[in-house]
Amino acid sequence: MSRSIPLQVIHNVSIVKPNGDLTRESVIIKGQDIEKITEKSPGQLFLDHEIELFDGNGHILSPGMIDQHINGALGCDFNQGSLTEVRNTLQQLPTFGITRILPTLITASHPDMLQAIQTIEEVIHLKRPQDTQILGIHLEGPYLNKDYPGAHPVKHIRDRIQLDELESFLSPSLKLMTLCPEKDPQGAIIQLLAEKGIKTLAGHSAATTEEMYHAVDCGLLGATHLFNAVKPFHHRNPGVIGVTLGNPHLYAEIIADGIHVHPESIKMALNAKGMGKTILVSDAMELAGLPQGTSCQFAGQQVTLMDSNQVVNTSGHIAGSSALLGEGVRNLVQWKILPFEHAIQLASQIPAQFLGEHKLGKIAEGCIADLVLWNKDTLTVEATWIEGKQVYTKKTGQQPSEQPA
């Protein structure tokens, strides 16, 4: 090992391993990467090296969480936020153990969607090391089914896919697109996106079983927020839900805030898909992390965070979630669906695998040191590292801001 870069050693922790085991080991970080995982105590290591020691007090160290479906949080709607507003949210998200996100932009007018894409691209370009990092953009819409709009403004959902408009959205940062397969009957759009490395999931859809089969043949990879804003399962026409649950190669995003999906349905999805294809997402919107009773404008309508933690619009419909991703992990544990060391994988390792980010989502040698220390009793976040840099500790609060890199 080179002596030029000081090493950080996180010791006295139980580590969540890629196979879902918890082991008592130390993690050695060099620069932004995990250099080594060892059973040796700090006293047995690198006697002639400069090392920084971090005592984990017996808590649990996991990979950083990756939220691939987050519309906003902490007062910022990613569809409308300015560069400063988006950054303010990214600066606070490490406190919640979230190290990477795909800002998820919902259906809006063409100029508004282009503006939102441009803002996110600027934030990516002006990356700050102390912030939660953006892995790319998730475009949710505008090619959805008007019968299953969820919180998307129906007036902006397009009647058909316009190729020139779609091409205007194809920023190099676009990583994932949610669409309804029934608007792409030939599968040509899914194929085109796949050729450009953009992943697609079915959502806000009434696709038939046949339409799903064809979309999957063309490159569709699964379902967005399974069970929500989609034609319900029917045993003679299983559609998006049935095909996603039945095909072992497909991924399912799932919201575990206790409001969007009943815990029994989450169990059913996990039993069908197994650990390897289930991705926990928050579907959080700008009120997530703010006090109950707060209201805002969302997708052109007034929405309020109720005492029940539901976010509802004036007609009483759910309009996104107020729970950030860690809440979903804690719920899976509290509902006795999974132990923590497995639940956390659905929010780190599995989305990383889905997104093709093979150096993320795992505590393993050579992986990027995005790490979260969880209090073993309360399952709240004690400390967060992004690319080897400690960006949050509970004792001292958020690290001071730095100038943009």
Residues near Zn ion, by CB under 5 A: 150
Closest CA to 154 of 365, 341, 317, 357: 317
Cβ 148 to Zn ion shortest distance, Å: 9
Question: For residue 108, what is the enclosing H or E element?
Answer: none
Closest chain position to Zn ion (CB): 150
Given the complex with Zn ion, which of 150 and 388 has the nearer CB atom?
150
Given the complex with Zn ion, which of 22 and 324 has the nearer CB atom?
324
Given the complex with Zn ion, which of 61 and 252 has the nearer CB atom?
252
Cβ 357 to Zn ion shortest distance, Å: 22
Tally of CA atoms within 13 A in the half-sphere of 318 that contains its CB: 19
Given the complex with Zn ion, which of 279 and 383 has the nearer CB atom?
279
Torsions phi, psi for 2 (to 5 deg): -70, 145
Given the complex with Zn ion, which of 54 and 298 has the nearer CB atom?
298
Q: Is 30 exposed, middle or buried (0-12, 13-18, 19+ CB in 10 A)?
A: middle
Distance separating alpha carbons of residues 139 and 254, to the nearest angstrom: 17
Cβ 55 to Zn ion shortest distance, Å: 42
Cβ 4 to Zn ion shortest distance, Å: 48
Distance separating alpha carbons of residues 85 and 134, to the nearest angstrom: 14
Find out whether 220 and 181 touch, Cβ atoms under 8 Å. Answer: yes
Closest CA to 66 of 290, 396, 368: 368
The one-letter code for the residue type at 249 is H
Q: 283 an active-site residue?
A: yes
Cβ 103 to Zn ion shortest distance, Å: 14
Contacts 24+ apart (CB under 8 A), 359-364: 360/63, 360/64, 360/66, 360/100, 361/63, 361/64, 361/66, 362/18, 362/63, 363/15, 363/16, 363/17, 363/18, 363/27, 363/34, 363/37, 363/61, 363/62, 363/63, 364/17, 364/18, 364/34, 364/37
C-beta neighbour count of 277 within 10 angstroms? 23
Residue 29 tokens read as 């970080």
Catalytic residue among 283, 307, 370, 377: 283
Given the complex with Zn ion, which of 71 and 89 has the nearer CB atom?
71
Percent helix, strand and coil across the chain, each to the nearest 5: 25, 30, 45
Cβ 225 to Zn ion shortest distance, Å: 5
Closest CA to 150 of 331, 298, 293: 298
Closest CA to 372 of 38, 74, 21, 100: 100
Cβ 372 to Zn ion shortest distance, Å: 26
Given the complex with Zn ion, which of 150 and 289 has the nearer CB atom?
150
Which positions are catalytic? 283
